[in-house]
Chain A
Amino acid sequence: MMKQEMNYERYQRQLILKGFGATAQHKLQAARVLVIGAGGLGCPIMQYLVAAGVGHIGIADHDMVSVSNLHRQILFGLEDVGQPKVEVVKRKMGSLNNECNIETWQEKWTQQHAVNHFPAYDVLVDATDNFASRYLINDACVLMGKPLVFGAVSQFEGQVAVFNQLEEDGSRSVNYRDLFPEPPAGGEVLNCAEAGVLGVLPGIIGSMQATEVIKLLTGIGTPLVNKLWNYNALTQDVFSFQLEANPDAKARIPATLAGFLNTDYEWLCGVPGAAIKEIDAVAWVRDHGNHLLVDVREPHELPRLTSLCKQMGISLMEIPLSVLEDQLDTISASQVVFVCQAGRRSLQASSLFLKQNSAGSVCSLKGGVQTLVASNYLQYE
């Protein structure tokens, strides 16, 4: 790419920084960064990288903007609802800095995408919201020798790390598999839809990720290599964990790109099997059989289902997922339906149930209590 004339006025405040200067600015201008996910993390990452003058940024997300995004994805506005996120991002980034070239993929990111496109980028950024994508991206970065800036949030806490960075001795720093060699079971860890997230938190964590990207590209400072940075918004406590290679990690990463392409990451990360029937929660309330409904939420989660079940004339059991395994033998009914807040824990409950009742089938209410609230079948008290 032809070296562009530098816009001194635009970058003046960072050009005058000690250790930054025109050298670092040119490095940003020449850099190519790929951000996967244009949600709570992806939006601030894009904004800061574009504003800082990164020359070329790829952004991938298959989703559309929805109203429930707006409390944390503050790049988007009401007028963007229903539009593809990557299109909105591209348009808004164009007005923020027209010196940055933006490439978009409005597709679900697959292994094939990674194999095709990772080689053309200097740094990859994981701004996704699910484990299947996180393990896919991590393994691809290890196989293709790319540094990865990782960020993730949960309720009031966030994690940031730089994985697979080239070390001075030519080796690569630790990656996500060194931390968690195997993905958790499906539904084991709740996502933002299920567990909630404080709106400002992904803004903080995404900004941290953007900081790490800029450090990697320009060489300033000490990036979070071989470290996991953990932030708690409730206490403002920060912990930085020292990481080292885990002997279990390497064997879990496909050995070759062919093996990688053949790996079913969604299956590994517990996307449900055939014996579990996911049924629409609203359709089920309207037209249900003589089912036993098992609510696997914790007792503090609202609204409860007691009065709805009474109206429907069906039996209800309340067994939190955390104690379900020990109480599975108390569930006896020909047709069991599990429910939780957003439909993920109920899938895990269904898997646990099937382990003990291998001949049976079981239903999980898709969208869970949230869908029933949205359709006015339930109200928050």
Chain B
Amino acid sequence: MEMELLYFGQLTDITGCSTQRLQHVADTDSLRMLVYAQYPGLQQVKFMIAINNKLVSGNQPIPADARVAFMPPFSGG
């Protein structure tokens, strides 16, 4: 079982990619640990997490085959 990760904005400068497929993990806290280990730079920036296009806060379970988006704030205008 896999899940799809989407990185937005300047997060892609850290990850070097905008999409990634990963083995499914149970919840958003575990997912954070996983991506922090792979991309330490992500620990220094703020982003929100959306599961299947829905914003979540706190630690939330991730359903099977979910698409998880990491969205940072944009400041430019």
Contacts and interface: CB of A to CB of B under 8 A. Distances in A.
Q: Decide whether A and B are members of one complex.
A: yes
B23 interface: no
Nearest to B41: A322
Given A190-B75, A325-B44, 9 more contacts: A128-B77, A129-B75, A157-B8, A185-B44, A188-B45, A228-B55, A242-B55, A244-B54, A248-B57
Given A241-B53, A298-B13, A180 B74 contact: no
B61 interface: no
Nearest to B58: A247
A204 B13 CA distance: 23
B62 interface: no
Contacts of A258: none
Contacts of A192: 76-77
B76 A188 contact: no
Interface residues of A, number: 53
Interface of B: 6, 8-10, 13-14, 40-41, 44-46, 48, 50, 53-55, 57-58, 69, 71-77
A197 B54 contact: no
B47 to A, nearest CB: 9
Given A155-B10, A322-B14, A189 B73 contact: yes
Contacts of B10: 154-155, 189-190, 195
B77 A179 contact: no
Contacts of B6: 239
Nearest to B52: A242
Contacts of B48: 179-180
Contact of A247 (B14, B41, B57): B57
A183 B76 CA distance: 14
Contact of B41 (A39, A42, A323): A323
Nearest to A38: B77
B77 A127 contact: yes
A326 interface: yes
Contact of A191 (B40, B41, B58, B76): B76
Tell which of B14, B45, B58, B74 has the most Cβ of chain A within 10 Å.
B74
A53 interface: no
A58 interface: no
Task: Give 5 nearest A-B pairs by CB, closest first.
Answer: A322-B41, A152-B74, A129-B77, A154-B74, A192-B76
Contacts of A158: 74
Interface in A304-339: 321-323, 325-326
A179 B45 CA distance: 14
A155 to B, nearest CB: 7
Contact of B71 (A153, A183, A228): A228
A345 to B, nearest CB: 11
Contacts of B71: 228, 230, 241
A255 B63 CA distance: 37
A157 B74 contact: yes
Nearest to B14: A322
A146 interface: no
A185 B53 CA distance: 26
Contacts of A85: none
A191 B55 contact: no
A202 B40 contact: no
A190 B13 CA distance: 11
A184 B55 contact: no
Interface in A27-76: 37, 39-42
A182 interface: yes
A321 B10 CA distance: 13
